[in-house]
Structure 1
Amino acid sequence: MTATAATPTAGAGRVSVARGYRFELVKLVSQWRIRLLVLACWIAPALFVAGVGQQSTLPSDTLFGRWMLATGWAGPLVTLGFSGTWALPLLTSVVAGDVFASEDRLGTWRHLLVAVRSPRRIFAAKALASLTVILLLVVGLAASSTLGGLVAVGNHPLVALDGHLLAPGDAAGKVLLAWACVLAPTLALAGIGLLGSIVLGRSPMGLLLPAIVALVMQLAQMLPLPVAVRLALPSWAFIAWNGLFTGPAQLGPLLIGIVVSLLWALTATLLAYLLFLRRDFTSLTDEGSGRRAVTAGLLPLAALAAATVAVVAATTGATGSGISQAKVQHSLATEFAHLYRMQTWQLNRPAVTEAQLKATATCNKGSVRVAAEGPGNDWRCVVSWHLPGVQATGTAVYQLDVTSDGRFVADGDGPKEVNGYFLVRTPTGDAPNPLWQFDGDLALLRTSKG
């Protein structure tokens, strides 16, 4: 009778993953800091975008920042750029980096194991709960910034990174896709957070690990490293969404960044799972082990990074910085032609097409003796174009600041009536001359157009 009674009791005590997931999700959202983060992500971006829309100065040093008074679709892209650099790494640190370590601080592992009776189900429940909260935060950032921009500025066309206008419907689709693309590197940081939370235990380093890894990768993107190394880091996917806003879209680097990020997410989560199953839960004061962190966390991820660099270099043929004279000249001439048409329309001049303009650019890095390649703020370009019925060739000078990730800022250097500073009238109000200063993006991988 005793054995018979024990069987249903054991079956009744079995906790499913779904039930454990609900329990862990309630534990997470009951924490004041998680509630505060959710509230901030769903409110702060809208207030920021709406506030900028009421100012006379713009964050022009941020990608799409100079267009925040022209269209509501620029706001979510500015927020996305900030989120990829700072917000998302910090959010994943607070959520995924603490989901296991909190049990160490509270000393509740024994109670949880007695209740659930399966480390596998505990891991699945905690990982899914943290992923749900992270997705909620990302959706809040995207939805809030988009709503704030549309309400404050309006549903107007967006100027892409090659100068052509995106209709509101096209802009909406690309903005949504850009936010969806950064989910992959966010998952990579979340996996690193789970790994740090398990390996380092109650140590504060476990909580900070995703933010530290993201900071190191961001610094690596700023250094003059080969393009194959850049594309093989998960942080590249936080940048590669820029390629959606060129024509044609630069999908190759974006897809590489997403695949690499998912590989990192899978590897880090699998390492965290295996280490969790091997953990000694009899110790109530697990502070983590530095040796274990290196052998079980750092070395496998370093090996993965080396492998992805080798694969990317072999499959893409990418060498050097990926920034060449031909690419700079082609991108600048293309964008100039698009923006010239916009300026022509704003100034009520006779319409002209890009084919009629036949715009070309000649660029160097301050001197013909210096190799015209690689990042730098010493690029100097002369753009030439032709107008129908006009014999003389028009020319305009630009100073370019090209960053290592392929973004460039073109600053007009005359003649003043072409690319100098003056205001033009637009449907949304007076705005600076579109040919004065503008942002662009280079295709770091080889393309058919060089």
Structure 2
Amino acid sequence: MTATETPPVTDAPAGDSAAVHRVSVARTYRFELVKLVSQWRIRLVVLACWLAPALFVAAVSEQSTLPSDTLFGRWMHATGWAGSLVILGFAGTWALPLLTSLVAGDVFAAEDRLGTWRHLLVAVRSPRRIFAAKALASLTVILLMVAGLTLSSVAGGLLAVGDHPLVGLDGHLLSSSDAAGRVLLAWACALAPTLALAGIGLLGSVALGRSPMGLLLPALVALAMQLAQMLPLPVALRVALPGYAFISWNGLFTAPGQLRPLLIGVVVALVWAVVATLLAYLLFLRRDFTNPTHDTAGRRGITVGVVPLAALLAATFGVIALATPSSGSGISQAKIQRSVSTAFAHLYRIQTRELNRPDVTEAQLRATTACTKGEDKVAQEGPGNDWRCVVTWHLPGVEAAGTAIYQLDVTSDGRYVADGDGPKEVNGYFLVRTSTGDAPNPLWQFDGNVELLHTSPKG
């Protein structure tokens, strides 16, 4: 070809030009992930998730005073697995909602504050791929944070205390391997409500734009759910809340496991995660990017966001109410009596071994419990700190039955703390020599859990 000749012209389809410049989801995802982790606040939070739990668990485990008001806190001297569950309880209440707010609640709003939407659209050429990339990048960072909380808390407990058996919420002893599996499974179950909050964060970030309310929305929703769990709600409504799996993982640490509320809570949370993310996606596609002052969906955000989620809550409540026969608070006298009897029998055997007394089985003890709430005219059901239980048991070869009194503080979510009220030699405070050092009498105080959705006709 000479200099005067013109190059041949090919009839390329019009779509080929667009195909050459198309940016894939994978490439856009890497770009969004780099943008997220390049922020100093994200880096600090990720680092804290991987270091702070280990340091906290190790430090608390060495203290003489333990956080006995938290679930499994009283066992932090006995096993390294207890510390991770203490962190999980704190994370479900405060840490995970704040982390999802920081990441998912800001991933779209940051573009509004910086005014970079037009540049991003010109580079990627697809709102759909932008949304997918931002959602996946947020999910990646959130999973990295949860993994850090899990592994760090487990490592801190095992290094500080050791791999010892864990006492469950019904007093039975979990082997080290069993405890390890259940602790990791509990963290995995907590991912479901975390994803639900992340979906709500994406929705708030899209709908509210540069408004700080979008950033705070997951934390505010989590706080509202915590306040709701403290109210005397019907059990079906309590389970229908997307954050219930932050509580129902307790059922993994009973024998048999209280899995029904946990499975319902996980499914409900995952449905919320999918619906909230889909609503955010639809709202994002309808946004007018040609108007630089348009950073919020206004009434459309309320219509597309709040109304469907409220309808989802109502529908979930209706389905659970029809599918489960439980009514009211779900806390009955019969359930509490069975739970206390079971826990006392298991813990009595632990005390017997620690005091080097002859072993006795739960069947030989034949432990029974009689509980009353408040005065005679008060309904014998529901939460409260006025439950009083008398446990009766029998020892082989001893004609007289033993009795012990407990004062119970039962919360609305079915958790309770039993405080020994005599006789002192049975459930009073005294130290017992164990393989890990001196520990309080296991029958002095113990935590328990009532299954709110139990379907037994006696419950």
Q: Which TM-score applies when normalising by structure 1?
A: 0.98
Do structure 1's residue 366 and structure 2's residue 374 form an aligned pair?
yes
| 1-structure distance, mates of 2:14, 2:256 | 67
Partner SS for 1:399: strand
Letter in 2 for 1:17: V
- What secondary structure is seen at the aligned counterpart in 2 of 1:132? helix
In structure 2, what is the Cα distance between the partners aligned to 1:416 and 1:311?
A: 48
Q: Which residue of 2 aligns with 1:251?
A: 259
After superposition, where does 1:34-433 map in structure 2 within 5 Å?
34-433=42-441
For 1:3 and 1:92, the matched residues in 2 are separated by 50
Residues 5-14 or 391-400, more deviating: 5-14
SS at match of 2:97: helix
Distance 1:87 1:443, change over 3 A: same
Q: Note the residue ranges of structure 1 that are not aligned, 5 or more in a row.
A: none
> Retained in 2: the 8 A contact 1:158–1:171?
yes
After TM superposition, the structure 1 stretch with the greater mean CA deviation from structure 2, 281-290 or 303-312, is: 281-290
Largest Rg, 1 or 2: 2
Q: How far did 1:100 drift?
A: 0.5
The answer to whether the 8 Å contact 2:325/2:455 transfers is no
CA distance in 2, matches of 1:290, 1:276: 13
1:237 shift after superposition: 0.6
Task: Name 1:22's counterpart in structure 2.
Answer: 30
Contact 1:53 / 1:153 at 8 angstroms: preserved in 2? Answer: yes
Q: Contact 2:97–2:222 at 8 Å: present in 1 too? A: yes
Please give the alpha-carbon distance, in whole angstroms, between the structure 2 residues aligned to 1:292 and 1:92: 24
1:234 aligned counterpart, secondary structure: coil
In 2, the alpha carbon distance for the partners of 1:153 and 1:352 equals: 29
In structure 2, what is the Cα distance between the partners aligned to 1:278 and 1:197?
A: 14
Give the length in aligned residue pairs.
Answer: 450
Deviation at 1:285, TM superposition (A): 2.6
Q: Aligned partner of 2:236: which letter? A: A
Equivalent residue letter for 2:52 = A
Which of the residues 437, 440, 445 maps onto 2:448? 440
Superposed CA RMSD in Å reads 1.3
Answer whether contact 1:161 1:441 (CA < 8 A) is retained.
yes
Change (3 A) 1:294 1:11: closer
Gaps of 5+ in 2: 1-8
d(CA) in 1 for partners of 2:431, 2:308: 55
What stretches of structure 1 move > 6 A for 4+ residues in a row?
none
Does the 8 Å contact 2:196/2:269 carry over to 1?
yes
* Secondary structure at the counterpart of residue 361 of structure 1: strand
Q: Cα offset for 1:10?
A: 2.6
Partner amino acid, structure 2, of 1:153? V
Aligned-partner Cα distance in 2 for 1:271–1:429: 55
**Alpha carbons 1:63, 1:439 under 8 Å: kept:** yes
Identity %: 78
1:104/1:285 contact within 8 Å kept? no
Give the Å deviation of 1:288.
Answer: 2.0
**Alpha-carbon distance, 1:235 to partner:** 1.1
Per-residue displacement from partner, 1:343-395 (whole Å, max 9, x unpaired)? 01101111111000000000001323211100000000000000011111100
The Cα offsets for residues 232-287 of structure 1, whole Å up to 9 and x where unpaired, read as: 00111100000000110011100100110011111101100001110000122334
Q: Is the 8 A contact 2:389 2:405 kept in 1?
A: yes
Distance 1:435 1:54 in 2: 23
Q: What SS is found at the alignment partner of 1:377?
A: strand
Report the Cα distance in structure 1 between the residues aligned to 2:64 and 2:435, rounded to whole angstroms.
17
Are the counterparts in 2 of residues 99 and 194 from structure 1 also a CA contact under 8 Å? yes
1:430 counterpart letter in structure 2: D
Report SS of the residue matched to 1:320: coil
- AA at the equivalent of 1:379: W
Q: CA deviation at 1:80?
A: 0.4
Q: How far apart, CA to CA, are the structure 2 residues paired with 1:293 and 1:409?
A: 44
Contact 2:392 2:403 in 1 (8 A): yes
List per-residue Cα deviations over 1:128-147 (Å, max 9, x = no partner).
00000000000000000000
Q: CA deviation at 1:293?
A: 3.1
Quote the Cα distance in structure 2 between the aligned partners of 1:285 and 1:73.
Answer: 52
